[in-house]
Structure 1
Amino acid sequence: MTDLLYSEEEEALRSAVRGLLADHCDAATVLARCETDEPHDRELWKSLTDGMGLAGLLVPEELGGQGATHREAAVVLEELGRVVAPVPFLTSAVVATEALLVCDGEAAAELLTALASGRTVGVLAVPLSAAPGRRFADVREEGGALHGRVTGVADAAAADVLLVPTAAGLFAVDVAQDGVTVTAQTSLDPTRPLATVTFDAARARALTSDTDLAVRMGLRAGAGLLASEQLGLAEWCLTETVRHTKERHQFNRPVGSFQALKHRLAQVWLEVVNTRAAARHAADALATGSDEPNLASALAQAYAAPVAVHAAEEALQLHGGIGMTWEHPLHLYLKRAKADSIAFGTAGRHREELAQMLDLQAP
């Protein structure tokens, strides 16, 4: 039977990541960065990658990575979710890396080594809302050059290399060249900004002809491990709300002693506990294949997405007036939860996929 409890190594990794984030990613820093034209925290990304090697967790050791599994990546995402860290770990170290791992050839291997170092950020050039299994025809390839446009690409502004799916295959495109334009879009979540990417005869390197497999693997890992980020976010919202309701007094009593609030917090706690089980199941399935990874990822995302939104909404409501202010970081958590709820497919889309996999007919 699969053990979904955290191992000693995973707990040690959590402690190290949490300590680094406590020093480099406090709420005031994230809030201040959201007011600038540079939402990505490149110094934090450097600390996570150069100091801890987290960009290469899923990359084999022979290619310069850590040779770890999705379980360790899930622990990192839990901690990044707790602070809504503005770094491209999910998009580069998970989605782009997972897509490259199914590509054969020297070009893919070289790119994996570059991503593992953290000095190169790779992003799969698909909309953030794209679900596993979706086909893409936004960009066409003509004579080794790409033409077309993709909207809603998460973390494209931080990318050095874009992995672009076309009907002819998956291609790698260097962003710093003529023919590639990245235009920022107005994003609900300022900690994971979106952009429109336009290709006008951009030079490209072929990675694989099996576009569907590479994109599906990348988005499947993204959906499954996104549940761990949502778990970390929901846990922070619950913990902070419990702390606040213990300290906030009305009628000479802590507001947390009122039964109506206890019931609401107890419901969030139950949802968070169940989210942890679903997220750990998905991470383990992706890591070991002990269960159907497609099913586990769809199940985790179908459950975790609405829980993260509910936890953030309850946190904002139960914080009262302070929760509504721009100075309090709660709005960042609500925006991340809402943006995550449509990332890699909505909960409804994943429920439909689950019904098809399990052959559950609509009544």
Structure 2
Amino acid sequence: MPLELTVEQRDLESSLRSSLARTAAGDNVWSSLLEMGLTEVPFPENYGGAGFTLKDTAVVMAELGRSLGAGPYFSSVILAGFTLLHAGSNAAKTQHLPTIADGSVTAALVTGYPFASTSITASGGDDNTIVLDGAQEAVVAGADADLLVVVAEGPSGPELAVIGGDAAGVVRTVRESLDFTRPLARIEFTGASAQRVGGNDLVAGLDKAQAIAITALAAEQVGAARACLEMSVDYAKTRKQFGRAIGSFQSIKHRLTDMLVAIELAEAAVLDAADADSRSSGELFVAAATARVLASRAATFAAEESVQIHGGIGFTWEHPLHRYFRRAKTSELLFGNTAVHLEAVASAVI
């Protein structure tokens, strides 16, 4: 695919950037996304969506990363929504995706990594229901979601279920997170009756949803890294030492250049991985994992270098850099760390 954005995608990027610049609190960000119809972007029109591409979704995620936009877009639309879209039954998609797409219902995905690996067990029930037991840590935005999309281990393999966040047998506990703009929760099920919603090829669907999720997360990481670079360039132009702007010093130039190279490489990998529809499952997996590795490295490197370039002010609570550092370190560990994805790529290509 072309490793660049179309005119329409540039327009989307510009309008979303302007909107996010005017909002600060999480509720305002979510409201802005709803007003712009961006929660509908990833889903087919027959499920209440706009029928856009994964590349369009990557544009949205990059801008959310750039602004550290809070709210349930990643948890509800990307994680839960794409899992239902690719691994859910037709009936489940018809029932749940329109409300996720219009934002009237927020959802969270309860699973481990890989998506088909989970500590939740499924038993009993019938063709339409299933009983859930067990607990899962680090569920993104799980404490406030209206709907929980759950991957569970059944007697014959993975099961997919949905259950209300406040249903009987569900206990949700907020966990303290390094990144306070992305809340995490522990979800525990004790004999909780849920709706069975798995599609015919559940494992393949979970694998595709997983690849799309880590691609979207990588796009967000690239956006955050680019914001760090922009802040550092602006600071280097105005901060003076020894009568000169610090950006004129070779050591600062090298740091900024290294940041740019890492970001450009990661962005190219994300755009390549976003070409989901034309990929075989194996190719998509390798492309997504590669993008994730490069984006994690770029985001962490950019945040760390930016703190150093800013000097003392970069360590203060009042400056936004610490929030980018928190997001970079937290995102690096979500759904498999860099070492996990490197090993996966190596196993696939060697």
TM-score normalised per structure 1: 0.89
Q: Give the letter for the 1:16 counterpart.
A: S
Q: What runs of 5+ residues in structure 1 fail to find an aligned partner?
A: 30-40
Q: Partner of 1:21 in structure 2?
A: 20
Q: Distance in 2 between matches of 1:189 and 1:97?
A: 23
1:334 Cα deviation from its structure 2 partner? 0.3
**Structure 1 residue 219 and structure 2 residue 219: aligned?**
no
- Equivalent residue runs for 1:229-268 within 5 Å: 229-268=220-259
Q: 1:300 to 1:264 in 2, by over 3 A?
A: same
Q: Partner of 1:186 in structure 2?
A: 176
1:212 Cα deviation from its structure 2 partner? 2.9
Q: Give the letter for the 2:99 counterpart.
A: A
Q: Give the letter for the 1:92 counterpart.
A: S
- Secondary structure in 1 matching 2:274: helix
8 Å contact kept, 1:140–1:148: no
**Structure 1 residue 65 and structure 2 residue 49: aligned?**
yes
8 Å contact kept, 1:71–1:287: no
1:287 Cα deviation from its structure 2 partner? 4.1
Matched residue count:
339
Q: Partner of 1:5 in structure 2?
A: 4
**Structure 1 residue 136 and structure 2 residue 135: aligned?**
no
Which string of whole-angstrom CA distances, capped at 9 and with x for unpartnered residues, describes residues 309-340 of structure 1?
A: 00000011111111111111111100100111
- Equivalent residue runs for 1:344-355 within 5 Å: 344-355=335-346
8 Å contact kept, 2:110–2:149: yes
Greater mean alpha carbon deviation, residues 200-209 or residues 254-263:
200-209
Which string of whole-angstrom CA distances, capped at 9 and with x for unpartnered residues, describes residues 254-300 of structure 1?
A: 1111111111111111111111111111112x243389211110110
**Structure 1 residue 175 and structure 2 residue 159: aligned?**
no
- Secondary structure in 1 matching 2:75: helix
Q: Partner of 1:276 in structure 2?
A: 267
Greater mean alpha carbon deviation, residues 231-240 or residues 105-114:
105-114
Q: Distance in 2 between matches of 1:95 and 1:113?
A: 15
Computed over aligned residues only, the root mean square deviation of the Cα atoms, in angstroms, reads 1.7
1:152 Cα deviation from its structure 2 partner? 1.0
- Equivalent residue runs for 1:81-100 within 5 Å: 81-100=65-84
Q: Distance in 1 between matches of 2:188 and 2:233?
A: 46
8 Å contact kept, 2:111–2:152: no
Q: Which of 87, 91, 95 lines up with 1:106 in the alignment?
A: 91
Q: Distance in 1 between matches of 2:209 and 2:182?
A: 18
Q: Distance in 1 between matches of 2:205 and 2:107?
A: 14
8 Å contact kept, 2:47–2:93: no
Q: Partner of 1:153 in structure 2?
A: 139
Q: Give the letter for the 2:38 counterpart.
A: L
Q: Which of 301, 306, 330 lines up with 1:339 in the alignment?
A: 330
Q: Partner of 1:289 in structure 2?
A: 279
1:211 Cα deviation from its structure 2 partner? 4.5
Q: Distance in 1 between matches of 2:114 and 2:341?
A: 8
Q: 1:300 to 1:15 in 2, by over 3 A?
A: same
Greater mean alpha carbon deviation, residues 201-210 or residues 187-196:
201-210
Q: Give the letter for the 1:184 counterpart.
A: V
- Secondary structure in 1 matching 2:333: coil
8 Å contact kept, 1:153–1:196: yes
8 Å contact kept, 1:137–1:167: yes
TM-score normalised per structure 2: 0.92
1:249 Cα deviation from its structure 2 partner? 0.7
8 Å contact kept, 2:332–2:338: yes
Q: 1:225 to 1:197 in 2, by over 3 A?
A: same
1:9 Cα deviation from its structure 2 partner? 1.0
- Percent identity, please: 36
Q: Partner of 2:100 in structure 1?
A: 115
Q: Distance in 1 between matches of 2:97 and 2:20?
A: 25
- Secondary structure in 1 matching 2:259: helix
Q: Partner of 2:305 in structure 1?
A: 314
1:125 Cα deviation from its structure 2 partner? 0.3
8 Å contact kept, 2:68–2:181: yes
Q: Partner of 1:34 in structure 2?
A: none
Q: Distance in 2 between matches of 1:325 and 1:89?
A: 29
Q: What runs of 5+ residues in structure 2 fail to find an aligned partner?
A: none
8 Å contact kept, 1:148–1:200: yes
Q: Distance in 2 between matches of 1:287 and 1:159?
A: 29
Q: Partner of 1:195 in structure 2?
A: 185
- Secondary structure in 2 matching 1:24: coil
Greater mean alpha carbon deviation, residues 66-75 or residues 166-175:
166-175
